[in-house]
C-alpha cells in the first residue's frame, strides 16, 4: 500500500498511477509468495528437527551429547554407537526378527486378502453379503480390546514366546485390506474376465493372470499398509514375547530405553536403526503412499 | 496402518456424484449384483463350495482373531481370573471394581482431557496446512511429503527421541529455553505438563496425515464456485468460510471422529514417555488395560476395562456411521 501511494505521488500522471498499481499487485503477490514459503519452510523445519537432532546425536560420543546442545553437529563420523547397538545391545537380532516377522505378515496378509477380496468382489455364493458385513463391522473393533482374549488364545495354543504369536493374528488378511482390494477388483471390466472364462480359465487363473496384474496400485497399497503395520507394531509383540530372542526393534528399543541409564547415544542410534528402513520405503514410494492415503480413505 | 487411525468404512464421498448415481449406489449397500445369483439350493451350495478356497483363510482369520476375541473379552469381564487360580464367575464385580479401585472414571477423564488437548489444535493446523498447500504452488509437493513423514515413523522410536528432546537437562527444548533465560519445567515428570507434551507429540505425528484428507476434500470443491464468488467480489476469507468450509463438513467430521477414536487408543507413545505417570496423571484407559492384565494379572478387571473402551469407541463409530449414511445422499447438492 505505502509503496503504491509513494509511487503515485512521484509519478503523478495517470499512466504512472496505472503502472504503479500493477507493480503494487505484483509486489503484493510476491509478498504473499514469500510469506507462503517462509511459513511453510518454518513448519517443515519444525517437522524435521527431531529427525535432524537424532541423526546428529547418533553420531556423537556420549561426552559430546552431555557437553554440547543438541543442535551442534557431530565432530566426526563416529560410528561406535551403531557398532555397539548391533554387537552388544541385540539390535542385529531385533532387526533380523523385525525383517522376518514383517515379511511373513506382509506376504500372508496380502495373499489371503487378495483371495478373500476376490470372493467378495467376483464370486456369488449364499451369505456373501452377510459375511462381508460381518467383516466391515469388525473394522470398528479397536485392537486394544482384543488384546486380552488374543493373549489367552495364544497361551492356550502354547504359542507365547514364538514368532508365530507375533504375526499369526494378522497373517490371514485384514478386513480393511480385503475391503480395499474388493473395491478395486470390482471395477475390472467383466468382459475381460468373461473372455478368459470362454478360454477355459479357472477362478485362480482369472484372479492371478487378469485381476491381480490389473490391480497393481491397490496391491502395492495393501503391501505398504502391511509393511508399515508390521514394522511399527508394538503392543502385541510386547505382550506375547518375553525373551530378547524374540524382540522386535520396537520392543527391543523400548526395553533398552527403560534400562539405559542415560546412554542416549545408544538409544538414539537404536531409533535411527528402527527408522531408516521405513524412511527408505517412504522415499521410494512417497507418491504412491500419499496418493493412496487420500484415495483409500476418502473415495 | 497403525491402530491409532482405524480405517472406517464410513467415509464421505469426496467425489461429487450426480443425484441418480448417488441414489443408485448408497455407499454401504452397493454390493456387486452383476454376477448371476444362485438359483436353486443345490447350485447355492455348489457356489459356496466353489468360493471356499478363496474365502476360508480370511474368514478363519476374522473369526478366530477378531470375532471370537470380542465375545471372549465380554465373557472374561464376568470372571474372577488371575492366571493362577481357576476362573470363577464374578458377575458385575469386575465392573464395580474398575470404578471403585482402578479409577476407570479417572482414566476416562484423562482420556477426555487428552482428546481435548489433541484434536482441536490438530484439526485447525491440518486444515490450515491443507488450505495453504492445495493451490499447488511450486514446492507444495515437497512440503506435503515432509508433513506426512511423521505419520509413517515408528511411534516407539519417535517416543524415545521425544523423551530425549524433552529431557529436563539435556533436552533440546530446555537448552533452547535456557538460551532465552527461561528455566523449563521437568516436562514428563510434571503432572501438569506430561499429558500436553504427549498430545503435542501426537499432533506432530498425525497432523500431516489429517491434512491429506482436507486436501482431498478441498480438491473436490467445484472450482466454479470460487470463480462465481470472485465475480461477486468475495475475498479469500469469505470464500473459505462460505464455500470451502461448509463443503468440508463431512471431511471434518471424519477427521474429528477418527482422531477421537485414535486418541482413545494411544499406547506406544505413552508407554515410552510416561508409563502413566507421574502418579497416575497420564493413565489413559489403554494403559490401564495393559497394566491390569500384564503387571497386576487381574485379567477379569482388564477385560471389563476393555469392554468399557469398546463401548466408548462404538458410540463414536456408530454415530459417525449413522451420520454418513444419512449424509452422503445430500452431499454437494449445491
Sign of the Cα torsion B7, B11, B14, B20 reads positive
Contact flag A129-B31 (C-beta cutoff 8 Å): yes
Of A47, A115, A179, the CB nearest to B57: A115
Query: Has residue A122 been placed in a domain?
Result: yes
Length of chain A: 299
CA distances from B57 to A106, A151, A166, A173, A191 (A): 15, 21, 18, 8, 28
Average pLDDT over residues B246-269: 87
Is the pLDDT at B28 greater than 50? The verdict is: no
**Which cell numbers in the block locate residue A264?**
542416549
Q: Which residue is closest to A189 within chain B, CA to CA?
A: B34
Query: Has residue A74 been placed in a domain?
Result: no
Query: Has residue B80 been placed in a domain?
Result: no
Query: Has residue B162 been placed in a domain?
Result: yes
pLDDT of residue B99: 87
Residues in A closer than 8 angstroms to B76, CB to CB, are 148-149, 152
Q: Which of A67, A100, A123 is the last residue of a domain?
A: A67
Q: For A72, how many CA atoms within 13 A lie in the half-sphere containing its CB?
A: 15
Contact flag A131-B55 (C-beta cutoff 8 Å): yes
Query: Has residue A201 been placed in a domain?
Result: yes
Query: Has residue B170 been placed in a domain?
Result: yes
Q: Lowest mean pLDDT of A219-223, A224-228, B208-212, B273-277, name the range.
A: B273-277
Contact flag A115-B59 (C-beta cutoff 8 Å): no
Distance from CA of B146 to the nearest CA of A (A): 6
pLDDT of residue A298: 41
Which residue, among B135, B280, B273, has the nearest Cα to B204 in the 3D structure? B273
Q: Which residue is closest to A155 within chain B, CA to CA?
A: B83
Average pLDDT over residues B248-275: 89
If asked whether residues A261 and A164 sit together in one domain, one would say yes
Q: Which residues of B284-308 are buried (b: 16+ CB within 10 A; e: fewer)?
A: bbbbbbbbbbbeeebbbbbbbbbbb
DSSP B35: S
CATH assignment of the domain containing B108? 1.10.3720.10
How many domains, in total, are found in chain B?
1
CA distances from A178 to B59, B278, B317 (A): 11, 42, 20
Q: Which residue is closest to B158 within chain A, CA to CA?
A: A271
Per-residue pLDDT band at B35 (split at 50, 70, 90): very low
Interacting residues of A144 by C-beta distance below 8 A, sequence separation 6+: A235, B3, B265, B267, B285, B286, B289, B306, B309
Query: Has residue B12 been placed in a domain?
Result: no
The H-or-E segment that residue B80 falls in is strand B79-80
DSSP secondary structure letters along chain A: -HHHHHHHHHH-SHHHHHHHHHHHHHHHHHHHHHHHHHHHHHHHHHHHHHHHHHHHHHTS-HHHHHHS-TTSPPSS---HHHHHHHHTSSHHHHHHHHHHHHHHHHHHHHHHHHHHHHHHHH---TTHHHHHHHHHHHTTS-HHHHHHHHHHHHHHTT-TTSHHHHHHHHHT--HHHHHHHHHHHHTS-HHHHHHHHHTT--HHHIIIIIIHHHTHHHHHHHHHHHHHHHHH--HHHHHH--SGGG--HHHHHHHHHHT-SS-HHHHHHHHHHHHHHHHHHHHHHHHHHHHHHHHHH--
The H-or-E segment that residue B79 falls in is strand B79-80
Most B CBs within 10 Å, among A71, A99, A130, A147, to test the B interface: A147
How many domains, in total, are found in chain A?
2
Range of the domain at B168: 19-28+104-327
Strand partners, B80: B88
- Residues lower than pLDDT 50 in chain A: 1-12, 298-299
Length of chain B: 334
Q: Which residue is closest to A225 within chain B, CA to CA?
A: B1
If asked whether residues A90 and A28 sit together in one domain, one would say no
Tens digit of pLDDT for each residue in B178-200? 989 888 899 998 889 999 999 99
Tens digit of pLDDT for each residue in A234-293? 999 999 998 889 999 999 999 998 888 778 999 999 999 999 999 999 999 988 888 877
CB A252 within 8 A of CB A91: yes
Residues in B closer than 8 angstroms to A36, CB to CB, are 132, 137
pLDDT of residue B26: 36
Q: Which residue is closest to B153 within chain A, CA to CA?
A: A275
Is the pLDDT at B40 greater than 50? The verdict is: yes
pLDDT of residue A18: 67
Contact flag A123-B54 (C-beta cutoff 8 Å): yes
If asked whether residues A131 and A240 sit together in one domain, one would say yes
Distance from CA of B192 to the nearest CA of A (A): 22
Per-residue pLDDT band at B88 (split at 50, 70, 90): confident
Which residue, among B308, B278, B311, has the nearest Cα to B292 in the 3D structure? B308
Cα A292 to Cα A285: distance, rounded to the nearest angstrom:
10
Strand partners, B89: B79
If asked whether residues A63 and A84 sit together in one domain, one would say no
Residues in A closer than 8 angstroms to B254, CB to CB, are 297-298
CATH assignment of the domain containing A282? 1.10.3720.10
Q: For A47, how many CA atoms within 13 A lie in the half-sphere containing its CB?
A: 27
Surface of A (123-162) touching B: CB under 8 A = 123-129, 131-132, 134-136, 138-153
Query: Has residue B115 been placed in a domain?
Result: yes
If asked whether residues A60 and A88 sit together in one domain, one would say no
Range of the domain at A23: 2-67
Of A116, A267, A271, the CB nearest to B55: A116
DSSP B187: G
Query: Has residue B35 been placed in a domain?
Result: no
Strand partners, B79: B89
pLDDT of residue B326: 57
Higher pLDDT pick, A171 / B134: A171
Q: Which residue has the cell 470380542?
A: B70
Per-residue pLDDT band at B330 (split at 50, 70, 90): very low
Is the pLDDT at B229 greater than 90? The verdict is: no
CB B156 within 8 A of CB A273: no
Cα A250 to Cα A230: distance, rounded to the nearest angstrom:
10
Instruction: Tell whether ipTM is more than 0.85.
Output: yes
If asked whether residues A91 and A56 sit together in one domain, one would say no
> What HEC string does B254-272 produce?
HHHHHHHHHHHCCCHHHHH
Residues in A closer than 8 angstroms to B216, CB to CB, are 294-295, 298
Surface of A (21-40) touching B: CB under 8 A = 33, 36-37, 39-40
pLDDT of residue B235: 83
pLDDT of residue B62: 93
pLDDT of residue B244: 84
Dihedral angle over CA of A232, A235, A237, A242, nearest 10: 140
Query: Has residue B3 been placed in a domain?
Result: no
Residues in B closer than 8 angstroms to A44, CB to CB, are 143, 146-147
If asked whether residues A60 and A106 sit together in one domain, one would say no
Residues in B closer than 8 angstroms to A112, CB to CB, are 57-58, 61
Of A54, A138, A172, the CB nearest to B67: A138
Higher pLDDT pick, A11 / B320: B320
Is the pLDDT at B14 greater than 60? The verdict is: no
Amino acid at each position: 500500500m505505502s509503496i503504491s501511494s509513494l509511487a503515485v505521488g512521484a509519478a503523478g500522471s495517470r499512466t504512472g498511477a496505472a503502472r504503479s498499481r500493477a507493480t503494487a499487485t505484483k509486489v503484493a503477490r510476491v509478498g504473499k509468495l514469500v510469506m507462503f514459503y517462509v511459513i511453510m519452510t518454518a513448519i517443515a523445519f519444525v517437522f524435521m528437527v527431531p529427525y535432524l537432532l537424532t541423526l546428529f546425536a547418533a553420531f556423537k560420543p556420549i561426552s559430546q551429547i552431555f557437553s554440547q546442545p543438541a543442535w551442534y553437529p557431530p565432530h566426526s563420523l563416529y560410528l561406535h554407537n551403531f557398532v555397539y547397538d548391533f554387537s552388544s545391545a541385540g539390535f542385529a537380532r531385533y532387526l533380523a526378527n523385525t525383517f522376518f516377522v514383517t515379511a511373513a505378515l506382509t506376504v500372508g496378509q496380502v495373499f489371503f486378502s487378495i483371495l478373500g477380496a476376490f470372493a467378495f468382489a467376483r464370486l456369488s455364493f449364499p451369505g456373501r453379503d452377510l459375511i462381508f458385513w460381518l467383516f466391515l463391522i469388525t473394522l470398528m473393533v479397536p485392537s486394544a480390546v482384543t488384546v486380552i482374549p488374543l493373549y489367552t488364545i495364544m497361551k492356550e495354543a502354547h504359542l507365547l514366546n514364538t514368532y508365530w504369536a507375533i504375526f499369526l493374528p494378522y497373517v490371514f488378511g485384514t478386513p480393511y485390506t480385503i475391503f480395499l482390494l474388493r473395491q478395486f477388483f470390482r471395477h475390472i471390466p467383466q468382459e475381460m474376465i468373461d473372455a478368459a472364462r470362454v478360454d477355459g480359465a479357472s477362478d485362480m487363473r482369472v484372479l492371478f493372470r487378469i485381476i491381480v496384474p490389473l490391480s497393481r496400485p491397490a496391491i502395492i497399497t495393501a503391501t505398504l499398509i502391511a509393511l508399515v503395520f508390521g514394522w511399527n507394531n508394538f503392543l502385541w509383540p510386547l505382550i506375547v514375547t518375553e525373551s530378547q530372542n524374540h524382540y522386535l526393534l520396537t520392543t527391543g528399543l523400548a526395553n533398552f530405553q527403560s534400562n539405559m541409564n542415560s546412554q542416549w547415544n545408544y538409544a538414539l542410534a537404536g531409533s535411527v536403526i528402527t527408522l531408516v528402513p521405513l524412511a527408505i520405503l517412504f522415499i521410494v514410494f512417497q507418491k504412491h503412499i500419499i496418493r493412496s492415503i487420500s484415495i483409500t480413505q476418502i473415495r | 496402518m497403525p491402530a491409532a487411525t482405524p480405517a472406517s468404512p464410513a467415509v464421505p464421498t469426496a467425489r461429487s456424484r450426480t443425484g441418480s448415481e448417488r441414489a443408485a449406489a448408497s455407499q454401504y449397500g452397493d454390493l456387486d449384483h452383476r454376477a448371476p445369483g444362485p438359483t436353486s439350493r443345490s447350485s447355492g451350495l455348489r457356489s459356496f463350495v466353489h468360493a471356499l478356497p478363496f474365502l476360508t483363510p480370511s474368514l478363519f482369520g476374522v473369526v478366530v482373531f477378531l470375532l471370537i476375541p470380542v465375545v471372549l473379552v465380554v465373557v472374561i469381564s464376568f470372571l474372577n481370573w488371575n492366571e493362577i487360580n481357576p476362573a470363577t464367575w464374578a458377575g458385575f464385580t469386575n465392573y464395580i471394581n474398575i470404578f471403585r479401585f482402578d479409577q476407570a472414571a479417572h482414566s476416562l477423564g484423562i482420556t477426555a482431557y487428552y482428546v481435548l488437548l489433541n484434536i482441536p489444535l490438530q484439526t485447525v493446523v491440518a486444515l490450515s496446512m491443507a488450505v495453504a498447500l492445495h493451490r499447488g504452488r511450486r514446492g507444495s509437493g515437497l512440503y506435503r511429503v515432509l508433513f506426512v513423514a511423521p505419520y509413517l515413523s515408528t511411534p516407539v522410536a519417535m517416543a524415545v527421541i521425544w523423551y530425549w528432546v524433552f529431557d529436563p537437562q539435556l533436552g533440546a527444548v530446555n537448552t533452547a529455553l535456557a538460551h532465552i533465560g527461561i528455566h523449563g519445567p521437568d516436562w514428563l515428570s510434571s503432572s501438569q505438563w506430561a499429558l500436553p507434551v504427549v498430545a503435542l507429540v501426537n499432533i506432530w505425528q498425525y497432523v500431516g496425515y489429517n491434512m491429506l484428507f482436507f486436501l482431498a476434500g478441498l480438491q473436490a470443491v467445484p472450482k466454479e464456485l470460487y470463480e462465481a464468488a470472485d465475480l461477486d467480489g468475495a475475498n479469500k476469507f469469505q470464500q473459505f468460510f462460505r464455500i470451502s468450509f461448509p463443503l468440508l463438513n463431512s471431511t471434518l467430521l471424519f477427521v474429528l471422529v477418527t482422531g477421537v477414536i485414535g486418541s482413545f487408543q494411544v499406547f506406544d507413545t505413552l508407554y515410552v514417555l510416561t508409563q502413566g505417570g507421574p502418579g497416575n496423571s497420564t493413565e489413559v484407559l489403554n494403559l490401564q488395560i495393559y497394566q491390569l492384565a500384564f503387571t497386576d494379572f487381574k485379567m477379569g478387571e482388564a477385560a471389563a476395562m476393555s469392554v468399557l473402551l469398546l463401548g466408548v469407541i462404538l458410540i463414536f463409530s456408530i454415530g459417525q456411521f449413522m451420520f454418513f449414511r444419512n449424509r452422503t445422499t445430500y452431499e454437494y447438492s449445491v
